[in-house]
Every structure is written in C-alpha cells, then in structure tokens.
C-alpha cells in the first residue's frame, strides 16, 4: 500500500537518540491515522545505528513501515538525497533525529501541503514560533549570520532555512532533488533557493523548537564550510535559471567528442586505463576478443571503447544520443542508450567495467556502483576515474553536469560500501593541480567565472602536456600520488551489496 507520508531521518552515529525518535513518529502516525513510511539513512555510522533499524524492521507496527538506506559517510545533504530517492508517498520530507521540531510541527506542515503549498519549511524566526529551549548564543548568532548573507546574496525572503524539518509534494521533491548537490549542512538552504528558482510555492511556518545536546555540527569548521557553500549556491543558482544536472550541456558534449582523439587530456587518460588493465584480466589475449567482455559506462564519443574493442568484446552505454552517434562513426555497434543506475544487461555479464568521469554526474553514485557490481562477474575489474577536491569546483563542473568532486577516501568508501574489493586508489594529474588552481583563482579575481578549462591548444603545447603526463604515468606504476586533479580507483567485484540496489531494468540485453 502506498504510504500517505514518506519521512526521512538522516542519521550519523545516532544509536542513542534513534529509538525514541522512531517511537515518537510511530505514535504520531497512529494518532493522525496516517500510513507512514520511515526511511532511516545511515550516513556511514560506526556505532549501532544500522542494527537498531534492522531490529526495528522486524516489528509489525500498524500503519508504519521502516526501511534502512546505508551510504558511505558524506554528510546530511547526501543522506537526505539518498533517502528522498527511495520515498514512495505523495508527500515526502525529512526531519532531524533529535526531533527539535517535533511531530506537532509535522502536523502543521501537512496542513500547509493540503492547502496548496509545494514545499513547507519550519522556521524559528517567524511570528508564532516558540523556542522552548534555546541554542547556545554563539550558535544562534552563527545561524542568523548565515541566513542574513543568504537572503542578501541569493535574494530569498525566508529568515530561517536551516531548521531541520521540511516537507514537499512528491513531484516537487523529485524535481528539486534532481538538481540538489551539496552534501553538508548548507543543503537546506540550497533546497529553498532551488524551490524558488524552479517556481514552486514555498511556505514558511512557525514551530515550537527545543534544542537538544548532541548536535554533529562543529561550529568553526562547519561555519567555514557553510560560508563556502553560500558562495557555491549563489554562483550556481544566482537569480537565473537552474542548469540541468547529470548530462553535460550540448556545447560541452560537442567539445568532448570532437577532442577525444587528439587532446592530450583524453590521450593521457586512455594510456592510464590501458596501463591499469595490463596483467589484471586473466584469460584475455590480444586477438581473442571472445575471451572477455568489457562495459564502458558513459562511453562518450567512443575513443576508449574503440581501443578496447581491438582485444575484447566492448559494449558502450551513454545517455547522450549525440555521443552514441559519434561513437558509431568509429564502426562501433555494441552501443546502448541507458541510465547507468539501471543497466540493461544480465548479471555477471562482464569481466571489465569502466566508469571514467561518470560517478560525479549521478545523484546516487551508490546505486550506480551496485548496478555495476551486479553486471560484473565475481572478481571482475572495475576502473573508475573522478575529479578531485570539492574546493576545485569551477564553471567547468557546472557545464559538465557534475554533482560533486571527490577525495581519495570518499571514492574508496563508496566502492567498499557497494561490495567492491579495493586494489588501488590514487590521485593523478598531480602536476596539473596547482596550475588549474592558479588559473581558476585568477578567473575569480578578474570576474571571468563563466569560462571552462578546456580550450584549443597549439599542437606543440598539446604534445608537451601529453609528455609531462606520460612521465607521471611512469611514476604511477610504482607510487601512489598524495594529491592531484583527478582520482583513479581500481577494484574487484565482490559479493553483491544488499540492497538499496538500483531498480532493475524491465528489459535485459542477454549476452549469449
């Protein structure tokens, strides 16, 4: 039965407060006569949070179902986003495990949705709000400063974007979270700005709010991060239209497909992948393509796929019809237009999978990785590359449709969480990081933040950069680099991870 309400509880090391929160939500649902879906998202906890939810799932509770979603630790924003993608009810929302804004506020928010609001945000700063137990003064001041800056810079009217209770119509949530990308505490503000930019009706309601000790917010560190995120929100959303996420712009796709053969960046990446595959795939020999099958996810214009096809059966998947059309001009025909989180292939079909600069394009990288694990044979090789360091975010990430940039540890955690056994995770393009950082800062200082990094290079400079990169590749054969502009991950498929797996495709391409 479809629930009336899907409520997400993001949790990081909440074994102490979670049981009481679940009990109060169950009591609320039964008092209100609601069918409620409780989705607890464990954000990489290392205490008993997940075990508590699993135990709770064994109980038969009238009107309430409880589910558990587990992700690698990334932050509250990532946890809520992962939970929202699992929500089934016509109304969906989230609240903090401490229930500072309790069930009474949730009841009022439901009334506002029933009266026509698309999104409802609980607020401690509007008439009618009651602060039963206040935060320490320095936290209140920090919160007011954050909201003041956001209102002035983003042009929004709301006085409190950070109160931990928000409710959405399901269709509203689907559209907003398709564009949401911040992983930390500032994601609340991002949601509000997105809702306004997308034209939804947002209502701010008063709340009875009680501060509880045990907050995961670290005042100095997280205040700096939230200030940085204000700049990201304003830079990305500003007062204009919202850019579609996940898929590069048409201009960016054309630039990539036309540069794949000759640009040093793509040449260097193909050499890195070829070197990484050497001696890792048993049973593959040159000239015997039936010995193994490879899947290139996000194959783009097919330059990498064409090289792989010389030694094995190579399949390409991409959402862009333009990219697939370009790949076909290379004589490639094992191509499929599909979403990477629902691959149309039978399980254990491939011995090699590539996801080169793909994970950053997906709101739910865990779903994509679990799906890749499904189609890989046990022990099959996965090679992943992703852009490094969120502080290197630039206009290029915007036009390429990125959700995030990575660190070495974040990529490793995601791979392990999804059932892969790590062989290697290292940074690369070490030499390029300070150069890229300098030019991106220079563009900020000169106000030219609307230009990407890619531009045509003279042939001589293109060869020089490739040779520098080739030298680094030789170093990488024996040494992991401590930093770089990108991250390389090599892993083996293990036991399929339990499920929050991606939705299975309705039709499969059976590989005979």
Q: Is the pLDDT of residue 211 over 70?
A: no
Length of the chain equals 512
CATH number, domain 5-237: 3.90.550.10
The two beta strands, 91-95 and 5-11, are parallel
Check if the beta carbon of residue 372 is closer than 8 Å to that of residue 217: no
How many percent of the chain have pLDDT more than 70?
A: 79
| pLDDT for the residue numbered 178 | 79
Q: How high is the pLDDT of residue 504?
A: 36
For 299-356, what is each residue's pLDDT tens digit?
A: 888 999 999 998 888 999 988 888 888 899 999 999 998 888 889 999 999 999 999 9
Angle formed at CA 168 by CA 165 and CA 169, multiple of 5 degrees: 160
pLDDT at residue 26, rounded to an integer: 93
Q: What pLDDT is recorded for position 387?
A: 95
- Cα–Cα distances in angstroms (integers) from residue 407 to residues 46, 228, 282, 402, in the given order: 20, 17, 30, 15
Q: For residue range 41-75, list pLDDT tens digits in order.
A: 999 999 999 999 999 998 888 889 999 999 888 88
pLDDT at position 501, please? Answer: 37
Mean pLDDT of 459-471: 92
pTM of the full structure: 0.63
Integer Cα distance of 472 and 444 in angstroms: 29
Q: What is the pLDDT of residue 487?
A: 97
CA angle 484–486–490, rounded 5-degree value: 110
Instruction: Give residue-wise pLDDT tens across range 29-44.
Output: 999 999 999 999 999 9
* Calpha distance 272→279 (Å, rounded): 14
pLDDT of 281 over the 70 cut:
no
Q: Is the pLDDT of residue 284 over 90?
A: no
Closest to 1 in 3D by CA, of 33, 37, 29, 41: 37
CATH fold for domain 250-493? Rossmann fold (3.40.50)
Lowest mean pLDDT among 84-98, 169-183, 245-259: 245-259
Instruction: Count CA atoms within 13 Å of residue 491 on its CB side.
Output: 28
Q: What is the pLDDT of residue 448?
A: 57
- pLDDT band per the 50, 70, 90 thresholds, residue 450: low
3-state class of 203 per DSSP? strand
pLDDT the model gives residue 221: 62
Question: Quick one: tokens of 381?
Answer: 């090789």
Q: Where are the domains of the chain?
A: 5-237, 250-493
**Lowest-pLDDT choice from 134-143, 159-168, 173-182:** 134-143
Percent of the chain having pLDDT more than 90? 44
DSSP 361: G
More confident: 156 or 97:
97
Residue 486 has a pLDDT of: 95
Check residues 429 and 153 and name the one with the higher pLDDT.
Answer: 429
Confidence (pLDDT) at 499: 44
Q: Read off the pLDDT of each residue in 190-195 and give the average, rounded to a whole number.
A: 90
Average pLDDT over residues 222-245: 67
| Segment 399-418 mean pLDDT | 88
pLDDT of residue 218: 58
Higher pLDDT among residues 293 and 501, named by residue: 293
Nearest to 470, CA basis, from 268, 270, 262: 268
Mean pLDDT to the nearest integer, 115-120: 95
| Higher-confidence position of 485 and 231 | 485
pLDDT range class, residue 447, cuts 50, 70, 90: low
**How far apart are alpha carbons 367 and 365 in whole angstroms?**
5
Is 243 a residue whose pLDDT tops 70?
no
Q: Do the first three CATH levels of 5-237 and 250-493 match, i.e. the same topology?
A: no
280 pLDDT higher than 50? yes
């Amino acid at each position: 039965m479809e629930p009336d309400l899907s409520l997400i509880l993001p949790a990081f090391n909440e074994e102490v407060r979670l049981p009481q929160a679940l009990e109060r939500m169950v009591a609320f649902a039964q008092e209100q006569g609601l069918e409620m879906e409780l989705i607890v998202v464990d954000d990489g906890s290392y205490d008993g949070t997940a075990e508590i939810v699993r135990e709770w799932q064994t109980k038969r509770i009238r009107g309430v179902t409880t589910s558990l979603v587990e992700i690698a630790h990334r932050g509250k924003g990532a946890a809520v986003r992962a939970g929202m993608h699992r929500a089934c009810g016509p109304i969906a929302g989230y609240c903090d495990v401490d229930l500072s804004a309790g069930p009474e506020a949730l009841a009022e928010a439901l009334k506002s949705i029933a009266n026509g609001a698309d999104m409802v945000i609980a607020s401690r700063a509007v008439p009618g709000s009651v602060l039963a137990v206040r935060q320490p003064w320095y936290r209140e001041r920090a919160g007011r400063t954050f909201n003041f800056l956001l209102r002035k810079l983003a042009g929004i009217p709301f006085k409190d974007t950070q109160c931990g209770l928000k409710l959405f119509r399901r269709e509203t949530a689907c559209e907003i979270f398709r564009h949401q990308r911040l992983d930390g505490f500032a994601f609340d503000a991002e949601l509000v700005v997105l809702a306004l930019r997308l034209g939804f009706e947002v209502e701010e309601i008063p709340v009875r709010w009680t501060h509880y000790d045990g907050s995961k917010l670290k005042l100095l560190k997280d205040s700096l991060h939230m200030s940085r995120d204000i700049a990201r929100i304003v830079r990305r959303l500003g007062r204009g239209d919202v850019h579609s996420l996940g898929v590069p712009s048409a201009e960016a796709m054309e630039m990539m497909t036309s540069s794949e053969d000759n640009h040093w960046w793509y040449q260097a990446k193909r050499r890195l992948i070829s070197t990484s595959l050497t001696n890792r795939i048993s049973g593959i020999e040159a000239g015997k393509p039936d010995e193994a099958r490879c899947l290139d996810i996000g194959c783009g214009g097919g330059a990498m796929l064409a090289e792989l096809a010389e030694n094995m059966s190579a399949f390409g998947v991409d959402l862009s019809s333009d990219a697939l059309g370009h790949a076909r001009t290379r004589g490639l025909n094992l191509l499929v237009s599909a979403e990477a989180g629902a691959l149309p292939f039978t399980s254990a079909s491939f011995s090699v999978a590539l996801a080169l600069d793909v994970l950053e394009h997906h709101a739910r990288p865990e779903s994509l990785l679990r799906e890749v694990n499904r189609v890989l044979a046990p022990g099959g090789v996965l090679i992943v590359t992703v852009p490094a360091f969120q502080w290197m975010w630039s206009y290029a990430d915007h036009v390429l449709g990125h959700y995030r940039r990575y660190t070495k540890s974040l990529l490793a955690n995601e791979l392990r969480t999804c059932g892969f056994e790590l062989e290697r995770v290292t940074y690369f393009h070490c030499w390029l990081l300070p150069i890229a950082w300098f030019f991106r800062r220079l563009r900020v200082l000169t106000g030219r933040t609307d230009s990407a990094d890619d531009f045509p290079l003279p042939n001589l400079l293109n060869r020089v950069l490739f040779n520098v990169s080739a030298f680094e590749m030789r170093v990488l054969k024996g040494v992991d680099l401590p930093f770089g502009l990108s991250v390389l991950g090599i892993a083996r498929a293990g036991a399929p991870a339990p499920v929050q797996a991606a939705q299975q495709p309705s039709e499969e391409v059976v590989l005979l």
